[in-house]
Amino acid sequence: MDQYMIDPPMVLESMSESILITDTKMDDPGPYIIYVNAAFEKMTGWSREEIIGKSPRILQGPKTNFRIFSDLEEKLIKGKIWTGRTINYRKNGTEFHMEWSITPIRNGEGEIYQYLAVQKEVTQIVLTELQLQQAIEIDKNRLLEIQKSNEELSDLLSEQNKMLSLFMKYVPESVIHKALSEENYDIKIGEKLDAGLLFCDIRGFTSIADRLNPNEVVGLLNRYYSKMSEVIDKYDGVIAEFVGDEIFVAFGAPLPINHPELSAVQCALAMIDELKELNMVLEVEFKTKIVVGIGINYGSVIAGNLGSENKLKYSITGSPVITAKRIEQLTNNLPNSILISQSVYDKVYDRVETKPWGKVNLKGKDEKINVFQVHGLVH
């Protein structure tokens, strides 16, 4: 198991911060809660069953400072992150100081449709701040010690917020939505899905890496991955893995989409077009350019989270995945080319310009398979 893969449901449930997700209905009595994690239950005393469907306003009380919410709706509507701190109340009526940030969540069309709140009890931090004020008058040496303690707490909060930001940025959003939207979703249950499978590999990357220093290699790869990811998102692809200089993308897993095989081919063509634009920049900045090969297959795969209770990885496996990878390897001597299998061709032949490339033996296959080269879309 790749130790650097992240499993969204387990991360949400195991985080020490309280996580709360609502819809976007800001008018009273909304918004309405659609998800909370175990840390929320522990912090507030409200069980998940009790709180789902209610408004976060249920945590407010006599000492809540409502002035801090004056800019909340304005910021969230603009897609900005809102932060605040005030007194809230547990289910049993006891008060506590809470600090939280609220981040808009966008759907595949870029529309804001949910809000995610990261909440943390900061009663001890507030008390520490009060002690700081008292220490100014009593003991300057004591003041310095408490300041150091407060800085360490602030650093810890900052680091945890960075981890959450990375989580939201890199975990496939469709996997997060699936985990949060399905009440009985079991993260370890596999599914059989029909999916388009795309492998894209950089040709001659070793020679590129040898010519550049480490920082330049990382900069080049990050620029490349960023541009390719934007294209992949546009065509509803889910990046299953970055493996070295290779990208593995699924269309139709974990969530089904219309015409996954066509989306995969359209995405591949758009990736090649985007690469041409990117190479003009790379030739100026790094005195090099990137050449890729893309292989696409279509078939039934098994998609699910594999591993132990403590470490899981969302994986897409099956013979069609291996075939897609083998087809990509056939492009070694075909710069910036796209090869597809018979199963893809059968679905897209009337929408895509292709030419027969050959009938080939693939490792692990008893019979030869037809492979076609894509040249563009039918206009």
Other CB atoms within a 10 A radius of the CB of residue 162 amount to: 10
| Beta strands 95-106; 312-317: pairing state | unpaired
User: Which CATH number do you get for residue 288?
Assistant: 3.30.70.1230
End-of-domain residue from the set 143, 177, 211 = 177
**For residues 379 and 202, which has the higher predicted lDDT (pLDDT)?**
202
203 and 250 housed in the same domain = yes
Q: Supply the pLDDT for residue 170.
A: 39
Proportion of the chain above pLDDT 70, given as a percent? 85
Q: Supply the pLDDT for residue 175.
A: 52
How many Å apart are CA 296 and CA 200, to the nearest integer?
9
**Domain assignment present for 167:** yes
**Among 43, 54, 47, 33, residue whose Cα is nearest residue 117:** 33
Segments in 260-374 forming alpha helices (H) = 260-285, 319-329, 342-348
Mean pLDDT value of segment 284-291: 92
Q: How many domains does the chain have?
A: 2
Lowest model confidence (mean pLDDT) among 33-42, 260-269, 306-315: 306-315
End-of-domain residue from the set 149, 177, 205 = 177
Helix, strand, or coil (residue 60): coil
241 and 286 housed in the same domain = yes
Q: What is the DSSP letter of 53?
A: T
192 and 138 housed in the same domain = no
- Which residues have CB under 8 Å from 80's CB, separation 6+? 104
Whole domain around residue 28: which residue ranges?
8-177
At 326-358, the pLDDT tens digits run: 999 999 999 999 999 999 999 999 999 999 999
User: Which CATH number do you get for residue 111?
Assistant: 3.30.450.20
**Domain assignment present for 86:** yes
**Domain assignment present for 267:** yes
User: Is the per-residue pLDDT at 155 higher than 60?
Assistant: yes
203 and 295 housed in the same domain = yes
**Domain assignment present for 2:** no
End-of-domain residue from the set 177, 208, 235 = 177
Q: Supply the pLDDT for residue 91.
A: 94
96 and 216 housed in the same domain = no
User: Is the per-residue pLDDT at 227 higher than 50?
Assistant: yes
Helix, strand, or coil (residue 78): coil
At 167, is the pLDDT very low, low, confident or very high (cuts 50, 70, 90)? very low
Mean pLDDT value of segment 48-62: 93
Q: Which two tokens stand for residue 166?
A: 């990375």
116 and 153 housed in the same domain = yes
Mean pLDDT value of segment 231-257: 90
How many Å apart are CA 164 and CA 31, to the nearest integer?
22
Q: Supply the pLDDT for residue 187.
A: 47
246 and 373 housed in the same domain = yes
| Beta strands 238-243; 291-307: pairing state | unpaired
Helix, strand, or coil (residue 365): coil
